Amino acid sequence: MSYLFQAYSRWNIHIKQAKGTIAVDENGKTYLDFVQGIAVCNLGHCPDPVAAAIKKQLDDVWHVSNLFQNGLQETVAQKLANNSAGDLVFFCNSGAEANEAAIKLARKHTQKTKIITFQQSFHGRTYAGMAATGQEKIKHGFGPMLTGFHYLPYNEPDAFNELSDEEDIAAVMLETIQGEGGVIPASGEFLQEVQAFCRKKQALLIIDEVQTGIGRTGKAFGYQHEGLSPDIITVAKGLGSGFPVGAVIGKQDLSAAFSPGSHGTTFGGNMLAMAAANATLDIIFEKRFLDEVSEKGECLREELQSMLQFPLVKEIRGKGLIAGIECKKPVQPLIEELQTEGLLVLPAGPNVIRLLPPLTVEKHEITEAVEKLNNVFSRHSTVKQ
């Protein structure tokens, strides 16, 4: 019997130890881990420089209230601001909390209410996160929802036409690649249209980089591939290499909306989390590191394209080291067979296999992973194309 709420349908794997790309279960079986805590362990499991930073901080001080000055928060905030379109940072503890804060900030700053998001999006499980999420299954049974959210089709530049007379728009919020929604990259044309719409309506542009940020796509943030200038960027997953931490990065002109007493959280910017984030960003925001992510991403997609030429495969998508393999049937059985083969991967919706290797993945590990995928796909496809 379990004492846990059964809110997750868990795999029957118990990881006892992990380092880099490799995870080892309680029976000593090793896996190539292309889940990495869902785009969290971007430097692989237990990265030494981050471990050292946390260990040092453990001996100094763990936690002080946000009533005190916090130099470490300043240091991490400066790194986030210097590598993004934003200027000011608010630290929280998760992606949902970052999006929650972004929505509060947008409404307060603009004094408007409507938040435009997109079908198939995912923005977290709090009430604002759920309301922002364009997937009914996330909200089932939890109503009434926070009001004022409006969902448009993703990747359709014409979608904004229906809002041409709408004046009460506080913000448009989107992922540059829908992660949970199926690894669906937004087209450059669509993203430019989104930004132009925001400018026209004096609405804020909020980019949810919780999954795509912190180097995942080969740039510090996913929106930078299209040269956007978002007003607010939210991050979490990869920020602390596995230590829980989130952040809202906003432009200078939003400062008055988050004035003293307006928003807060006890644990936000915790010293141990900041030590982890600081060490993480020192590595990931290096241009050479990011260029390598892009290179390895190309290599991953090329190998997938050439080794997965099966009728079962509908499309291979992605950017940097987030990849999606859309199949013509549900992928859950394939995912379980891949586990037996020693490769851990995620679904993204019913028909998409999502690969999130660590950004430190080595080329031979990419090749091994694609071989394992090839083995399983071969078994599921009698005829090769």
CA distance 342 to 184: 26
Q: Is residue 124 left, alpha or beta, with left meaning phi > 0 and alpha meaning psi from -120 to 50?
A: left
Residue in 147, 135, 224, 209 with CA at minimum distance from that of residue 177: 209
Q: How far is the CB of 112 from ligand PLP (least distance, A)?
A: 22
Q: Are 42 and 284 in contact (CB under 8 A)?
A: yes
Closer Cβ to ligand PLP, 300 or 348, answer by number: 348
The answer to whether 214 contacts ligand PLP (rule: CB under 6 A) is no
The answer to whether 179 contacts ligand PLP (rule: CB under 6 A) is yes
CA distance 45 to 361: 11
Closer Cβ to ligand PLP, 5 or 68, answer by number: 5
CA distance 32 to 42: 14
- The pair of structure tokens assigned to 316 is 């291979």
Closer Cβ to ligand PLP, 218 or 377, answer by number: 218
Q: Pick the stretch among 203-211, 262-270, 293-301, 308-316 that binds ligand PLP (CB under 6 A).
A: 203-211
CA distance 242 to 276: 8
Q: How far is the CB of 131 from ligand PLP (least distance, A)?
A: 13
Tell me which residue has its CB nearest to ligand PLP.
Answer: 95
Any idea which residue has 């549900």 for tokens?
330
Any idea which residue has 């000055």 for tokens?
69
Q: How far is the CB of 210 from ligand PLP (least distance, A)?
A: 4
Q: Element (H or E) spanning 326, and its range?
A: strand 322-327
Q: Scanning residues 346 to 375, which ones bind ligand PLP (CB under 6 A)?
A: none
User: On the CB side of 185, how many CA atoms lie within 13 Å of its CA?
Assistant: 19
Q: How far is the CB of 37 from ligand PLP (least distance, A)?
A: 11
Strands 204-208 and 184-185 come out as: unpaired
Q: Are 324 and 348 in contact (CB under 8 A)?
A: yes
The answer to whether 278 contacts ligand PLP (rule: CB under 6 A) is no
Q: Which x/- pattern, by CB under 6 A, does the window 300-339 give for ligand PLP?
A: ----------------------------------------
Q: Scanning residues 74 to 133, which ones bind ligand PLP (CB under 6 A)?
A: 94-96, 99, 122-124
Closer Cβ to ligand PLP, 135 or 375, answer by number: 135
Annotated binding site for pyridoxal 5'-phosphate: 95-96, 122, 208-211, 266
Annotated binding site: 95-96, 122, 125, 208-211, 265-266
Q: What is the DSSP string of 110-125?
A: H---EEEEEBT----S
Q: Pick the stretch among 8-16, 175-183, 277-285, 354-362 that binds ligand PLP (CB under 6 A).
A: 175-183
Residue 102 phi/psi, 5-degree rounding, is -65, -40
Collapsing DSSP to helix, strand or coil, 340 comes out as: helix
CA distance 285 to 272: 20
AA identity, residue 181: G
One of 33, 100, 193, 208 touching ligand PLP (CB under 6 A): 208
Q: How far is the CB of 234 from ligand PLP (least distance, A)?
A: 7
Annotated binding site for N(2)-acetyl-L-ornithine: 125, 265
Closer Cβ to ligand PLP, 117 or 374, answer by number: 117
Q: What is the DSSP string of 186-224?
A: PPHHHHHHHHHHHHHHT-EEEEE-TTTTTTTTSSSSGGG
One of 76, 101, 236, 327 touching ligand PLP (CB under 6 A): 236
Residue 216 phi/psi, 5-degree rounding, is -55, -40
Closer Cβ to ligand PLP, 122 or 377, answer by number: 122
Closer Cβ to ligand PLP, 103 or 308, answer by number: 103
CA distance 306 to 283: 32
For ligand PLP (CB under 6 A), the number of binding residues is 15
Closer Cβ to ligand PLP, 116 or 313, answer by number: 116
Interface with ligand PLP (CB under 6 A): 94-96, 99, 122-124, 175, 179-180, 208, 210-211, 236-237
